[in-house]
Amino acid sequence: MRIYKEFYFEAAHVLPSAPDGHPNSRVHGHSFRVRVSIDGAPNPETGLVIHFEDVSKAISEAREALDHRFLNDIEGLELPTLERITMWLWDRLHNRLPGLAEVAVSRDSCQEGCIYHGPHPLAAE
Ligand SMILES: Nc1nc2c(c(=O)[nH]1)N=C([C@H](O)[C@H](O)COP(=O)(O)OP(=O)(O)OP(=O)(O)O)CN2
Ligand SMILES: [Zn+2]
C-alpha cells in the first residue's frame, strides 16, 4: 500500500547550463508541487501506515529550506533542475521517513515534472 502527502513551494533559480540570452539564464521563478510517497502496511491497531502529521513534520524542514529561496544558493542545488531537486529531497527525507518510495516534483504551469525512486541499487555510493 502506498500513501502520499503533497506540499508546494515557490522559488527562483537560473539554469547555469542555459546559453547567454536564453530566458533560463535569467533569474525566474516557479511554483513547485512535491509529492512524497511512502510504502507500508497499515498498523493493525491504528489502521495507519504512518500518520500524516508525522509526514508533515518530516517534510517541514525541507520545505522551509526551499520556499521563497534562490535555489542556486542552496548547497547541493547549484544546478537547480527538477532532477536535482527530487534527488536533494530524497537525500533529506529517506532517513526520516521509513518506507519512502517516491519523491515527485512538478511544475504544473509547465505540465512537467520529475519522479525519483532513490538511487539505483547498483549505483556507486
Ligand atoms: N529536464 C529538464 N529540463 C528543463 C528543466 C528541468 O528542470 N529539467 N528546467 C527548465 C527551466 O526551469 C525552465 O524555466 C522551464 O521552462 P518552461 O518549461 O519553458 O516553463 P516556463 O519558464 O514558461 O514556466 P512558467 O512557470 O510557466 O513560467 C527547462 N528545462
Ligand atoms: Zn526555471
Q: What is the pTM of this model?
A: 0.95
CA distance 70 to 49: 35
Question: Quick check: is 67 in a domain?
Answer: yes
Residues 67-89: tens digit of each pLDDT: 999 999 999 999 999 999 999 99
Question: Quick check: is 121 in a domain?
Answer: no
Question: Quick check: is 69 in a domain?
Answer: yes
The range of the structural domain enclosing residue 34 comes to 2-20+28-116
Question: Quick check: is 85 in a domain?
Answer: yes
Top mutation candidate among 25, 81, 83, 87 for ligand 1, by most atoms within 8 Å of CB? 81
Cα torsion 80, 83, 87, 93: sign: positive
Question: Quick check: is 57 in a domain?
Answer: yes
Question: Other CB atoms closer than 10 Å to residue 2's CB: what's the count?
Answer: 11
Cell representation of residue 67: 520556499
Helices 52-66 + 82-93 axis angle, to 10 = 130
Residues 11-64: tens digit of each pLDDT: 999 999 999 999 999 999 999 999 999 999 999 999 999 999 999 999 999 999
Question: Quick check: is 58 in a domain?
Answer: yes
Cβ < 6 Å from ligand 1: which residues? 15, 24, 28, 30, 81-83, 107, 109-110, 112
**For the chain, what is the domain count?**
1
Asked if ipTM goes beyond 0.85, one says yes
What CATH number is associated with residue 48?
3.30.479.10
Cell representation of residue 36: 512524497
**Closest ligand 1 atom to Cα of 107:** 26
- Report the separation in Å between the CA atom of 27 and the middle of ligand 2, taken as the mean of its atom positions: 8
Question: Quick check: is 125 in a domain?
Answer: no
